Amino acid sequence: MGESDEKMVTGLILKDRPVLPEAFLTDLESNLKRFKHVLEFSAVSKGHTPAEWIGQFEEHLQGKLRFLQMVYGHQHPVVKRLSSMYDDAYNTKPFAESFSWNDFPYS
């Protein structure tokens, strides 16, 4: 690697201090939004959503959040914001009105 090349090891970009690629943060934020919608739908469907799948999704998100905390520390604004999104998913009220699968947020 040249001196000006971006150095990446185990998913971390090595600069003055390690940082995570923007794609990691964008993907994590997107998945946290999806997780919130999954929990909302699960509450409405009265448990018809596969609990095993939800548990695996939750474990995946927890692992990514722990990695983020390890790299940036618990007090970093990005860590606080994404951790708050995770906590917010559990405090969400279920959909009050009926909906169509065409209206369900996939992105």
68, burial (CB in 10 Å: exposed 0-12, middle 13-18, buried 19+): buried
Q: Residue 25 has what pLDDT?
A: 96
pLDDT tens profile 67-107: 999 999 999 999 999 999 999 988 876 555 555 666 666 65
What tokens appear for 53 in the block?
Answer: 């799948």
Beta carbons within 10 angstroms of residue 89's beta carbon: 19
Q: DSSP letter for 6, please.
A: P
What tokens appear for 2 in the block?
Answer: 């040249």
User: Rounded to an integer, what distance in angstroms lies between the CA atom of residue 66 and that of residue 72?
Assistant: 10
Q: Residue 46 has what pLDDT?
A: 67
Q: Residue 57 has what pLDDT?
A: 93
